[in-house]
């Protein structure tokens, strides 16, 4: 049987359970083990697909089209794990499955209860990703003490009862520093572990989130009051670069402790390439300024994969990427020349709804006319198509049917409406689709190949009725999906670097394997910066 590591959190949310779990995965892979990671969220939504980014951060999309928690992005960026629908479960998804079974009569007239039926459904879900993995790392969302998390915590308690030494509990908690007294306080950690033990879970390892190193006296105190061995009380110190965390954990021999507890051979740890990547990111040769014109700029977790992909693109050129978060709605009231004149590159990301659209279009007009490198993703690509139709193809009232039904020029249109299918749900194009690139295009130069596949999350498409009109006006359609003949990539040829793509390339970028489009965009932005400096 595979070994299981369950990662829980206490005291407060947003301590970084996802990054901690991913870092553990990175360490175990460096020892030669085959691992995978899962996330269980206690909320009643079936998935986060309909949740506002302000509520839950970005929605991460897998190859098979699952709309998942943003932590799955961390899993894929830190490890070789390829996540699927089976890697993210919510209370809503669990209950939905149980209620379907109950309606079918699968429980044979039994009273369906939290124990054993809900907990058994949760335990069954743990095993859906086992395959040939040596170790499965499972992150339990929420915090200990939340009423909604109790079924999940009860399920992992039962796992320990049933499988004993094959189960390991890692608990992430907070050790705050109180400035007024000049002391680190262990009481929040003590109470968090007390809550866990009250429901029958004794943590094997504590990851103590703190802004400074924990000395042996503090660790000894935590060990004494939590019944966790001293060597298993690990400092999880704040860092500037999240990719340093596996290295910090390795210094405290976290992977050795885990493997010893699970009765597995230590093997030889090899973090050479990871260390090189982190070191290079710390010593950039220069910097580049990117304006990200978005609808959810007030919460950076809304664009966490995008943020990381831009940094990966910068590291490929040994550049520090300075990201300025520009609220698209504000651009509707200000001149883009005043707001964007600092930018070496402009990126307009995805989103839904009408808010801020005209601000995004103004930023695209500025990028096109001032020859500033531009990258439009999903809605950003659609806005670029609308901008081109209005200002170059002379289709003044061009728009998307997402924003208005009255436009005479429906440049962007719902896919199902294009196909004459009634809108009865399942309207999004989700997951991985292939794309054929035109020779000599910016996209082909970036990828170095003519056929690619990327992940999608959108309802609206470029209207094929306007392909010829906009192409005749100079828009270069450089990528199309061969299965449905849908436009995937647009470019402007008389521009240093102007590209919009219908898919979300940020979901496939990794620190040691930057996505080709982000690498090319940052390279073009740096060239623009250098040219602008020369002309000053």
Greatest Cα pair distance, the chain, in angstroms, is 80
Integer Cα distance of 367 and 288 in angstroms: 16
CB 505 within 8 A of CB 499: no
Q: Which member of 67, 74, 506, 515 is catalytic?
A: 506
DSSP string, 387-421: HHHHHTS--TTEEETTT-S--SEEEEEEHHHHTT-
Cα dist from 266 to 253, 256, 269, whole Å: 11, 6, 8
Q: Which member of 74, 87, 458, 504 is catalytic?
A: 504
Around Cβ 445, how many Cβ atoms within 10 Å?
Answer: 12
Integer Cα distance of 63 and 480 in angstroms: 18
Nearest to 174 by CA among 31, 9, 326: 9
Strands (E), 415-459: 429-437, 451-458
Around Cβ 331, how many Cβ atoms within 10 Å?
Answer: 22
Beta strand 135-140 with 35-41: parallel, antiparallel or unpaired?
A: parallel
Integer Cα distance of 382 and 371 in angstroms: 19
**Distance from the Cα of residue 54 to its chain's centroid:** 14
Reply yes or no on whether 154 is catalytic.
no
Reply yes or no on whether 515 is catalytic.
no
DSSP string, 261-295: HTT--------HHHHHHHHHHHS-SEEEEEEEEES
Reply yes or no on whether 435 is catalytic.
no
Q: Which member of 378, 383, 435, 501 is catalytic?
A: 378
Token code pair at residue 40: 């269980």
Using a 10 angstrom Cβ sphere, with 0-12 exposed, 13-18 middle and 19 or more buried, the burial of residue 163 is: middle
Peptide bond into 116 cis (omega under 30): yes
201-210 in b/e form (b: 16+ CB < 10 A) is bebbbbbbbb
**CA atoms within 13 A of residue 490's CA, in its CB half-sphere:** 32
Integer Cα distance of 312 and 386 in angstroms: 30
Q: Enumerate the active-site residues.
A: 378, 504, 506
């Amino acid at each position: 049987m595979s070994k299981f590591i369950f990662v829980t959190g206490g005291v407060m949310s947003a301590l970084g359970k996802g990054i901690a779990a991913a870092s553990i995965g990175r360490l175990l892979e460096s020892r030669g083990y085959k691992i995978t990671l899962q996330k269980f969220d206690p909320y009643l939504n079936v998935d986060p697909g309909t949740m506002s980014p302000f509520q839950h951060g970005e929605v991460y999309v897998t190859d098979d089209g699952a709309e998942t928690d943003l932590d799955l992005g961390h899993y894929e960026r830190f490890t070789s794990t390829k996540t699927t629908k089976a890697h993210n479960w919510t209370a809503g998804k669990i209950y939905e499955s149980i209620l379907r079974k109950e309606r079918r009569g699968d429980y044979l007239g039994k009273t369906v209860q939290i124990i054993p039926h809900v907990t058994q459904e949760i335990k069954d879900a743990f095993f859906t990703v086992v395959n040939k993995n040596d170790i499965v790392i499972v992150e339990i969302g929420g915090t200990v003490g939340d009423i909604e998390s109790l079924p999940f915590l009860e399920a992992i308690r039962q796992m320990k009862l049933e499988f004993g030494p094959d189960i390991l509990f890692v608990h992430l908690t907070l050790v705050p520093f109180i400035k007024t007294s000049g002391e680190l306080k262990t009481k929040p950690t003590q109470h968090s572990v007390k809550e866990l033990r009250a429901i029958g879970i004794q943590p094997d390892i504590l990851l103590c989130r703190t802004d400074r190193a924990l000395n042996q006296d503090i660790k000894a105190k935590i060990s004494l009051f939590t019944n966790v061995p001293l060597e298993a009380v690990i400092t999880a110190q704040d860092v500037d670069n999240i990719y340093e965390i596996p290295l910090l954990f390795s210094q405290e021999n976290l992977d050795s402790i885990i493997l010893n507890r699970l009765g597995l051979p230590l093997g030889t740890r090899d973090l050479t390439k990871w260390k090189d990547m982190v070191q290079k990111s710390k010593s950039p040769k220069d910097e580049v300024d990117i304006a990200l014109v978005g609808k959810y700029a007030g919460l950076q977790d809304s664009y966490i994969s995008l943020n990381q992909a831009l940094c990966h693109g910068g590291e490929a050129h040994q550049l520090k990427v300075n990201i300025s978060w520009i609220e698209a709605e504000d651009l509707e009231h200000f001149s883009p020349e005043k707001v964007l004149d600092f930018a070496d590159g402009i990126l307009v990301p995805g989103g839904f709804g009408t808010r801020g659209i005209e601000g995004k279009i103004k930023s695209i007009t500025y990028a096109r006319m001032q020859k500033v490198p531009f990258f439009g993703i999903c809605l950003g690509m659609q806005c670029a198509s609308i901008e081109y139709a209005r200002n170059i193809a002379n289709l003044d009232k061009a728009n998307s049917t997402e924003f208005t039904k009255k436009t005479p020029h429906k440049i962007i249109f719902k896919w199902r409406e294009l196909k004459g299918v009634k809108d009865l749900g399942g309207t999004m194009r989700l997951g991985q689709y292939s794309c054929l690139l035109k020779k000599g295009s910016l996209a082909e130069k970036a990828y170095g190949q003519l056929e690619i596949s990327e992940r999608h999350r959108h309802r609206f498409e470029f209207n094929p009725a306007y392909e010829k009109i906009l192409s005749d006006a100079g828009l270069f359609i450089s990528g199309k999906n061969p299965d449905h003949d849908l436009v995937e990539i647009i470019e402007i040829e008389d521009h240093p670097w102007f590209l919009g793509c219908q898919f979300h390339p940020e979901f496939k970028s990794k620190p040691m394997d930057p996505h080709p489009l982000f690498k090319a965009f940052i390279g073009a932005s740096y060239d623009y910066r250098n040219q602008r400096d020369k002309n000053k």
